[in-house]
């Protein structure tokens, strides 16, 4: 842990680093491949919507000796529709059957009572109409759209529209991957899933905003210096928050993994799957997009500006002149002077934190 903390401090000070921004085409390619896979899975398999969205009935039974598999067969024979059965901690069962009206639900409950050897009055039946389920789905999509709009407005005001656009793309990236995984594994989509999606969007934005804040601070008066290009400053900001982003994500993933793999898988608490899967996949995708998508996109957008193009030309010209004179690079971040150039092929991630021999001999610390 001490080594990790030391690495984080060195990354923050710019003494070491990895050039994420320069390799952005690789990350874009990986994201496009994963996103296409998610979209194909969604188109081919579709989402397994819960009865809260498509309507149906939920039967909750008292303790019974009948297994979940036997109850599933009995429910499907009684209802004529597919059934989803989950074991409860009380020893009872939760049986979901779609497309049932009140009369059909009463008939199914009576048949289940006979098959499961329990009293019909002890089986609780909750009905969800198709129209009500459609309203829930529409409200969920409306809430998600409002969330996206507010996020873009806030980021555009707090930072700038390019950062807001990059954050929006990263959020859509995370949502698409999470929804695609749901389609591929066939987990049921419930209101808990929607809650999970909104939660992971918040986590994703947290990491992204932290990097953007450092980038905004580091890019002040950027055109008044000839030491760094915008992409290199973006990379320095990303490296400075890298360990913190990883630590935050790992700490958040551990309890979620417990819910998903131990609670939902090993212990059989299937009701945990709907929210834990969205949290697990979304947190992982959000951490990836914050590092590999959002910041490189901002750098791409900014480098298209005339001012940043001119800055890049000045930086590269100064580096070429320094290389021609045989001067050693001075990577202390000074904005002017004779010793602030670095070799043209030196990336920000690999040169940050170096100190020139001349700076050390004179004792300067710019």
- Whichever domain contains 209, its CATH number is 1.20.1640.10
Residue 159 falls within a domain, yes or no?
A: yes
Tally the domains of the chain: 2
Residue 106 falls within a domain, yes or no?
A: yes
Q: Tell me, yes or no, whether 250 and 268 share the same domain.
A: yes
Can you give the pLDDT at residue 12? Answer: 55
Can you give the pLDDT at residue 263? Answer: 64
Residue 348 falls within a domain, yes or no?
A: no
Residue 316 falls within a domain, yes or no?
A: no
Residue 350 falls within a domain, yes or no?
A: no
Residue 322 falls within a domain, yes or no?
A: no
Helix, strand and coil percent figures for the chain, each rounded to 5 = 70, 5, 25
Can you give the pLDDT at residue 335? Answer: 37
Tell me the pLDDT of the chain (366 aa) as tens digits: 555 556 556 655 556 667 888 889 999 999 999 999 999 988 998 888 877 777 788 888 888 888 888 888 888 888 877 787 877 767 788 888 877 777 788 888 888 888 888 888 888 888 877 666 677 778 878 888 888 888 889 889 988 899 999 999 998 999 899 889 888 888 778 777 888 887 877 777 887 888 888 888 888 888 888 888 999 899 888 888 887 778 888 888 888 888 777 765 555 555 567 778 888 888 888 888 988 999 999 999 999 999 999 999 998 988 888 888 877 555 444 434 333 333 333 333 333 333 333 333 344 443
Q: Tell me, yes or no, whether 105 and 254 share the same domain.
A: no
Q: Tell me, yes or no, whether 175 and 215 share the same domain.
A: yes
Query: Residue 41 and residue 45: Cα distance in Å, rounded?
Result: 6
3-class DSSP state of 115: helix
In Å, what is the CA distance from 189 to each residue of 238, 249, 250, 275? 34, 24, 25, 9
Q: Tell me, yes or no, whether 138 and 235 share the same domain.
A: yes
Q: Tell me, yes or no, whether 213 and 272 share the same domain.
A: yes
Can you give the pLDDT at residue 345? Answer: 37
Q: Tell me, yes or no, whether 214 and 97 share the same domain.
A: no
Can you give the pLDDT at residue 166? Answer: 92
Q: Tell me, yes or no, whether 7 and 139 share the same domain.
A: yes
DSSP bridge partners of 87? 93
Q: Tell me, yes or no, whether 165 and 253 share the same domain.
A: yes
Can you give the pLDDT at residue 297? Answer: 93
Nearest to 100 by CA among 53, 131, 56: 56
Pairing of strands 56-60, 93-98: antiparallel
- What range does the domain containing 154 cover? 2-49+132-303
Can you give the pLDDT at residue 130? Answer: 65
Can you give the pLDDT at residue 300? Answer: 92
Can you give the pLDDT at residue 205? Answer: 84
- Whichever domain contains 91, its CATH number is 3.30.70.3400
Residue 336 falls within a domain, yes or no?
A: no
Q: Tell me, yes or no, whether 176 and 285 share the same domain.
A: yes
Q: Tell me, yes or no, whether 283 and 156 share the same domain.
A: yes
Can you give the pLDDT at residue 342? Answer: 36
Q: Tell me, yes or no, whether 144 and 235 share the same domain.
A: yes
Q: Tell me, yes or no, whether 255 and 296 share the same domain.
A: yes
Can you give the pLDDT at residue 296? Answer: 93
């Amino acid at each position: 842990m001490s080594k990790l903390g030391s690495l984080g401090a060195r990354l923050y000070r710019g003494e070491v680093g990895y050039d994420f921004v320069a390799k952005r085409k690789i990350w874009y390619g990986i994201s496009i491949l994963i996103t296409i896979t998610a979209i194909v899975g969604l188109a081919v398999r579709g989402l397994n919507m819960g009865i809260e969205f498509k309507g149906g009935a939920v039967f909750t039974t008292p303790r019974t000796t009948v297994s979940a598999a036997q109850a599933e067969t009995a429910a499907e024979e009684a209802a004529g529709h597919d059934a989803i059965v989950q074991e409860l901690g009380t020893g009872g069962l939760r049986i979901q059957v779609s497309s049932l009206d009140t009369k059909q639900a009463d008939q199914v409950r009576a048949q289940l009572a006979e098959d499961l050897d329990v009293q019909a009055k002890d089986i609780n039946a909750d009905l969800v109409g198709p129209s009500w389920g459609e309203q829930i789905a529409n409200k969920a999509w409306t809430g998600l759209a409002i969330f996206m709009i507010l996020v873009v407005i806030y980021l555009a005001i707090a930072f700038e529209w390019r950062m807001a656009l990059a954050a929006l793309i990263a959020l859509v990236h995370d949502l698409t991957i999470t929804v695609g995984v749901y389609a591929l594994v066939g987990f049921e989509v419930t209101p808990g899933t929607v809650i999970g999606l909104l939660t992971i969007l918040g986590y994703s934005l947290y990491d992204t905003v932290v990097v953007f804040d450092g980038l905004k601070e580091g890019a002040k008066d950027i055109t008044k210096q000839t030491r760094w290009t915008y992409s290199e400053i973006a990379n320095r900001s990303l490296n400075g928050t890298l360990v913190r982003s990883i630590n935050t994500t790992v700490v958040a993933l551990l309890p979620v993994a417990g819910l998903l793999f131990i609670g939902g898988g090993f212990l059989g608490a299937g009701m945990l799957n709907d929210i834990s899967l969205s949290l697990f996949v979304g947190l992982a995708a959000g951490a990836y997009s914050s590092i590999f998508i959002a910041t490189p996109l901002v750098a791409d957008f900014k480098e298209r500006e005339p001012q940043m193009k001119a800055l890049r030309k000045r930086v590269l010209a100064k580096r070429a002149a320094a290389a021609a004179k045989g001067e050693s690079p001075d990577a202390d971040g000074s904005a002017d002077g004779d010793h602030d150039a670095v070799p043209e092929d030196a990336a920000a991630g690999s040169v940050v934190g170096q100190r020139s021999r001349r700076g050390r001999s004179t004792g300067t610390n710019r």
